[in-house]
């Protein structure tokens, strides 16, 4: 069965809730089952921060993806595919990836849930995927990996900064670094 691109997008629109819910399930199923049950339980974002932030983040990413597909469709199906806005997609992914970057996931496990979207959409829509859609999911995966790396770098920088501050403080107490302020010490690190 072949769908036109417009039909495909219409199907995606109609199935938004279903797709997001299944995608969310796939994302939380990367946790141990005892944890996954709890992440799915409370809708209060302070009692269940990881579950709620994950859901919200996936909704944002989905809406951005859908917007790009819809935009592309409205203009002209034959023109070159509009690239997904990497920066915006990374921002939308940030909350969920920022969390996964401090949990026990390997890099691949941390971003794996993005790829699940292909299988989920295929199952729900019941047809092979539009190549433009597949490409965009790949782009989101790469954006997720980018963000994961940024978060990891952030963590190591924070760790280094804490250690530097501690050493600097000790030197300052001993009267050894009167000339070098903490700001200078930390910014010299950023330049390298």
Partner 1 sequence: MADELKPDELLDKIDHTPARGSWMDTSVQIRPGMYCYAAKAESVETLGLPNARAWNPLEDDWKLPENWQEILHNGLKERLEKFRTFKIFMDICVRCGACADKCHFFLGTGDPKNMPVLRAELLRSVYRNDFTHAGKILQSISGASKIAGNRPLTLDVLKEWWYYFFQCTECRRCSVFCPYGIDTAEITIIGRELLNLLGLNIDWIATPVSNCYQTGNHLGIQPHAFKDMLDFFTEDIEEITGVNVEPQFNKKGADILFITPSGDVFADPGTYTCQGYLILFKYLKDKYDLDVTWSTYASEGGNFGFFTSHETMKRLNAKMFAEAKRLGVKWILGGECGHMWRVIHQYMDTMNGPADFLEEPVNPITGTKFENAKSTKMVHICEFTADLIKHGKLELDKSRNSNISLTYHDSCNTARGMGLLEEPRYIMNNVCDNFFEMPENTIKEQTFCCGSGAGLNAGENIELRMAGGLPRANAVKYVHEKFGVTHLCCICAIDRAVFPTLMEYWVPEVDVIGIHELVGNALILPGEQKRTTDLRMEPLPGMEEEEMEDEDE
**Interface contacts to partner 1, rule CB under 8 A:** 26, 29-36, 38-39, 41-42, 44-50, 53, 98-99, 102-104, 112, 116, 119, 122-123, 128, 154-155, 158-159, 161-163, 165-166, 169, 173
Q: Which is nearer to partner 1, 38 or 70 (CB)?
A: 38
CA distance 1 to 125: 11
**Secondary-structure percent of the chain, ordered helix, strand, coil, rounded to 5:** 75, 0, 25
In the complex, the smallest distance separating the C-beta of residue 160 from partner 1, rounded to whole angstroms, is 9
Q: Any idea what DSSP says for residue 83?
A: P
Nearest alpha-carbon partner for 146 in 99, 90, 62, 103: 90
Q: How many CA atoms lie within 13 A of 16 on its CB side?
A: 15
In the complex, the smallest distance separating the C-beta of residue 16 from partner 1, rounded to whole angstroms, is 22
Q: Which is nearer to partner 1, 4 or 128 (CB)?
A: 128
In the complex, the smallest distance separating the C-beta of residue 165 from partner 1, rounded to whole angstroms, is 8
């Amino acid at each position: 069965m072949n769908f036109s691109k417009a039909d495909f997008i219409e199907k995606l629109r109609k199935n938004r809730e279903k797709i997001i819910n299944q995608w969310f399930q796939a994302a939380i199923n990367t946790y141990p089952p005892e944890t996954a049950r709890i992440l799915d339980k409370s809708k209060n974002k302070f009692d269940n921060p990881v579950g709620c932030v994950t859901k919200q983040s996936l909704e944002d990413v989905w809406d951005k993806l859908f917007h790009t597909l819809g935009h592309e469709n409205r203009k002209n199906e034959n023109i070159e595919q509009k690239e997904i806005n990497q920066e915006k997609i990374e921002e939308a992914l940030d909350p969920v990836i920022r969390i996964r970057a401090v949990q026990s996931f390997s890099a691949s496990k941390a971003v794996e849930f993005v790829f699940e979207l292909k299988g989920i959409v295929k199952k729900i829509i019941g047809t092979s995927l539009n190549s433009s859609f597949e490409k965009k999911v790949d782009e989101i995966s790469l954006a997720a990996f980018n963000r994961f790396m940024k978060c990891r770098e952030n963590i190591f920088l924070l760790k280094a900064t804490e250690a530097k501050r501690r050493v600097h403080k000790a030197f300052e107490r001993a009267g050894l670094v009167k000339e070098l302020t903490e700001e200078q010490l930390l910014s010299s690190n950023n330049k390298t």
